[in-house]
Chains A and B, each alone.
Chain A
Amino acid sequence: MELLCCEVDPMRRALADPNLLYDDRVLHNLLTIEERYLPQCSYFKCVQKDIQPFMRRMVATWMLEVCEEQKCEEEVFPLAMNYLDRFLAVVPTRKCHLQLLGAVCMFLASKLKETIPLTAEKLCIYTDNSIKPQELLEWELVVLGKLKWNLAAVTPHDFIEHILRKLPLPKEKLLLIRKHAQTFIALCATDFNFAMYPPSMIATGSVGAAICGLQLDDGESSLSGDSLTELLAKITNTDVDCLKACQEQIESVLVSNLRQVRQQQQQSNPSKMVDELDQASTPTDVRDINL
């Protein structure tokens, strides 16, 4: 007899563990080890001949879309991009194998982070069956070897809760801030300029951009402009100027991405004029955007 289980979400998640989140040793250790998992070099200059930055963006966008459609956990996509960058930093790869590599990286990241991982078959379907599951499994072994089986890389997501709990944020806004910060992190992962940045800096910059974008500084002076940046910089031991630059970079990536999306929308539906972009001031107004 089969048991019926209709009401429960099949995705099982662990609850947040206060022992891990409220202990600064964890944050300290994350900061100590994060650099180990950065790609070794800017590989477009020194390793890759066939692959160019726009191709990384193409495969990253496709990976993000697949992860979103399959409702993957938030950290799967940035983790997969970390694997992809670390692999490309050591192995010259053909352009026509890049999508396979992207699929392998999603496969690995999903297995590491999810209770119900993506299957090889499904990922092959997403490549329009240009690769076979058997090839995916073989290349999984290659990627694992090149990553020296170090899969538990530190990602910006690991820092988010540690940062958020140290800020004087209104409780009712936490969910939204977290959501926006996560979106910024995904955005950073699609952009190669952020690939060599330490995850803690991306996390700090993303939280900063999220808070500024949501204009939460009305009643709380410590959440406005420079004092927020200083507060954030202290939490993750980041240099204030670096952090400022990083946050600005994140905001400009958002603006250019939105512009792209709008252009695509206008191309597909020219009658629908969009003028929200003009209203958006710096820092970017992200409140109305369905990220």
Chain B
Amino acid sequence: MPLSQSNIRHIPCSRKLCRNLFGRVDHEQLQNDFRDLMRRHLEEAQHRWNFDFETETPLEGKFQWEKVLYTDISPACPPSQNLLHHPKGSDVEKNQRSPALKSSTKNLHVALSSEAVEQGSEASSPQRLKRKQTSIKDFYSSKRRIVPCKPNL
């Protein structure tokens, strides 16, 4: 087997196991349920963090969001590198913030592909490994005004 194919399972699916257990799947209903659940998920996140993840803007609530410069957040990383690869306000940065919360899959693809491009451009730099993963808190710092409920595990 060529090495390039070795990361694929070559076990065929036996016919008797290929079965539809609970009858016809209504794809339209499935899509509606999916949209509904994603929308509710987004609303819950928005409520919990008082942050509008679709427009990327802070809202009124128990957290006070402050915009921070990317260069402020990881002292372990030389600022020059951050500036080089994360020009403020670039599309890369915007899309990286909350790919999981985007309700449309189109956005998700953009987010994933921009990440891939970015990784490629940094591939030659050994310091890439040191960069910590970006999260929403890397772009806005949050301060708790009142004691918030602890995020459930």
Contacts and interface: CB of A to CB of B under 8 A. Distances in A.
Interface in B9-38: 9, 11, 13-14, 17-27, 29-31, 33-34, 37-38
Contacts of B152: 148
B124 interface: no
Interface of B: 1-4, 6-9, 11, 13-14, 17-27, 29-31, 33-34, 37-38, 41, 100, 105, 108, 151-153
A-side interface size class: 35 or more
Contacts of B13: 69, 122, 125-126
Interface string A63-83: 001100111000000000000
Interface majority SS (helix, strand, loop, mixed), chain B: loop
Contacts of B9: 70-71, 116, 118-119, 122
B20 A5 contact: no
A40 to B, nearest CB: 10
A20 interface: no
Question: Which of A59, A65, A97 is packed against the most chain B CB atoms within 10 Å?
Answer: A97
Interface string A205-246: 000000000000000000000000000000000000000000
A196 B18 CA distance: 30
Contacts of B1: 4-6, 10
Contacts of A96: 22-26
Contacts of A3: 2-3
Contacts of A66: 17
A61 to B, nearest CB: 9
Interface residues of A, dominant DSSP: helix
Contacts of B7: 10, 116
Given A5-B1, A91-B37, A116-B9, A125 B18 contact: yes
Contacts of A127: 18-21
Which of A59, A125, A145, A150 has the most B CB atoms < 10 Å from its CB?
A145
Interface of A: 2-6, 10, 36, 55, 58-59, 62, 65-66, 69-71, 91, 94-100, 116, 118-119, 122, 125-132, 135, 137-139, 141-142, 144-146, 148-150
Contacts, number: 111
Contacts of B3: 2-5
Contacts of A62: 17, 19, 21
Given A98-B21, A116-B8, A127-B18, 18 more contacts: A4-B3, A10-B6, A58-B22, A66-B17, A69-B17, A70-B11, A71-B9, A96-B22, A96-B24, A125-B18, A127-B21, A128-B19, A141-B108, A142-B34, A142-B37, A145-B37, A148-B151, A148-B153
B18 A98 contact: no
A117 B18 CA distance: 19
A189 to B, nearest CB: 17
B17 A130 contact: no
Nearest to A122: B13
Contacts of A99: 20-22, 25
Nearest to B38: A142
Interface centre among B9, B18, B24, B41 (most CB of A within 10 A): B9
B30 A97 contact: yes
A98 B23 CA distance: 11
Contacts of B19: 62, 126-128
